[in-house]
Structure 1
Amino acid sequence: MKTVLSLAALAATTASFAIAAPAAAKTGDPVVVSDNLTIDPIIDGTLRWEHVDQDDLGLDADALTFRMRAGAEATIHNLSFLAEAESTLAIVDNYNDTIPGNNGYLGAEPYSVVADPQNVELNRLQASYKGKGLKVTLGRQRIILDDARFVGNVGWRQNEQTFDAVRGEAKFGPLSLDATYSISQRTIFGIDSPNEHFDGDLILVNATVDAKPVKIVGFAYLLDYDTRIAFSSKTFGAMATGKLPLGDAVTLDFKLRYATQQDFELNPVDYSAEYIDAELGVSVAGFGLKAGYEELGSDDGVAAFQTPLATAHAFNGWADLFLTTPATGLRDYFGAASAKIGDAGPFKGVGATVIYHEFKSDFGSIDYGHEWDAIMTFKLGGYPFLLKYANYTAKNFGTDTEKLWLQVSFSY
């Protein structure tokens, strides 16, 4: 598969835009309207170029998209009201943004998929009450639990995932409780897709004990979809994370997580599967190494552990071959190396990470393939930039896939 060479021109154009523009203002304090009323404006945007090259799957895709969110949060005493609109514009539209779904929404564009459809929507509309150790939020809202492995906002994509829900959060010393009842998962697929939202009864419960330096989380997720019944499930599990200082410049961090999942309510498939996640990392003076193993188990190849509410792009490779777990399950053996490089001329706060994944099935001894991922972040002209790359080599699953991104964002 050919190496992507079209980055340089776009990088130069985007960098010129960033340097010519005034320095981005930092998110400031809310505007004080009166003794009892403050208003906090919400303005942020992301300009991204994404290139996708997949063997034997249509034409290479090039997407230049711009996402903008704008709104405000007004706070009166213990009450707050937030409204936020979100829009995505395709400046270069050489990509398939019609996401395949259960209703056969395939579109006719001959390119590889980039999951950033043009879209204008109400992203959030919520009311909140916040008291001592207590917060209740009602309405369309962003929900990210833990590291977003099971529940997240799919924050990498331009269109954000939100939920129509009521959420309660309470904190009692080291104990935190978080419970949500949602009637609708508002997806990233856009207003023109039949999969714009998935309705049902979604119950999300977390309990956390922060016993420094170790944090322990117990969770239960009960998903009863009205139409997406193949993903109706009940999941119960626990996680332990921690950072242990081993000296002035050395830190050891770890994560251990286990969960079980079964079919729930109208799901036509009777299955039971396990989830295992184990990670160990060490950082020394700005350099880091990490090794890990993640398993999304299979019930004898009939069905596998699924995470339909997750920010799945952050796990199992950035080429996105495993957003839905194959019926034979997934075992992901991975290692990462990272470095905080610091300032280099006009590039401020440079950091880089390289990750390697080896993918195998949980059932049937299938060698799926392997993937290399890399990312570099820095600030230029006061704006955060991101350069990101993924290269998946297929063996017995999917197809060779190469992706490249260049992104700049701002927030006020």
Structure 2
Amino acid sequence: MKNRLAFGLILLLLAACSTSKSIEKELIASSGDNSFFTGVSVKNALTGASIIEYYSDKYFTPASNVKLFTLYASLKHLKDSVPSFEYSISGDSLFIKGSADPSFFNDSLHKNSLEFLSNKKYQVYLLDEDLHDDAYGAGWSWDDYAYGYMPEKSLFPLYGNTVSIQRDQKGLEIIPSFFEESVHLDDQPEKRREQDRNVFYINKSDKTIERSVPFKTSNQLVADLLSEKLGDKVTLISAEFKRNFKPFTELPYDSLYVKMMKESDNFIAEQLMLQVAYKVVRKYNVALAIDHVLDSSLVDLPQRPRWVDGSGLSRYNLFTPESMVFLLSKMYQEVPQKRLLSYFPQGGVDGTLEHSFKEQSYIQAKSGTLSNNYSLSGYLTTKKGTVLAFSYMNNHYQGSSNARKEEMSAFFRKLYEHY
């Protein structure tokens, strides 16, 4: 009996190995004549057993696949609810300072926070503190400053550090209204904002507009925006003012993780890494957070990445498919499965995959897109119920990503059917 079981197990292993080799050969055949670069790694998410490796130890530009590492760093270090701000009370004075919350007044009412700040028995004072970091990440494209996917990082962000501009038959709506006098009709359709100041433009001929434009941040602007929102003056005071501050918390971190992953929100990713840095080294600096994570909980990565930001906006980032899959397997083993998979877009269903990989809802993964680069890393649940961790990276192709997605879709279908 034991011999028959052992023999059966050997046959199953040989069959799995044969399937892997067959799929790998097809991958090599389809990629061999390409003028661009492809790397793939597939492992059993639970055991870490390797299934397919194709240039998986080579470095690629990952784009928003970097958010997987930001997610892991956040899950590791940010345990409680999001601090909306920090505060201290003395008599009738309420002193506040920023805590890098990316969601304040942005897609959320922050009802409790707003009620607390609006208490008329307090005069509100904002500390004139700054980040220990630059407003933009290393390697970000300077001429993207006016596009909603690249707001400035800041210590006390409001409205996602963007101005919402909407125009339709009913008229023009600006949120926050503080910037109403700063939006001008213009004949230059490509110019959205002055590079160095908060002067915004919309094309006269555009009757319908819906866009978010980043604004240049400053602590005085934060005080002014808070004053408008609260209906009472918020006064900026020196950062040298010393008191014991404590956080005012409201929203759960999971609400940020879902939005970051499903919508690929760059701003949330950057602000989360600032918060991670403050937790581990008491400074709001993305590079310090990255160094800490790589030198502690991710010291055993197969290939150490060049990791420079939280969002993946930078082309300086370099990661291997194998390291991506190592991280995915690590998260799968450390985070409850239902919670973990709830963060990921699902093929043909929602998030950034709503219109991609249709009829492949067995894929739950993070996409990464920059011009001429498309990657997808995440989990695939096979017909047999096996969960695979995968990373499929394409760099430096010309044209759209549609052909890459078709090739990837066929590859994923084979994995689904045969494992």
Same fold (TM > 0.5): no
Name the one with the larger strand percent: 1
Higher relative contact order (CA 8 A, sep 6+): 2
Which structure carries more helix by proportion?
A: 2
After TM superposition, the score normalised by the length of structure 2 is 0.24
Q: Tell me the TM-score normalised to structure 1 length.
A: 0.25
From the CA coordinates, give the structure whose radius of gyration is larger. Answer: 2
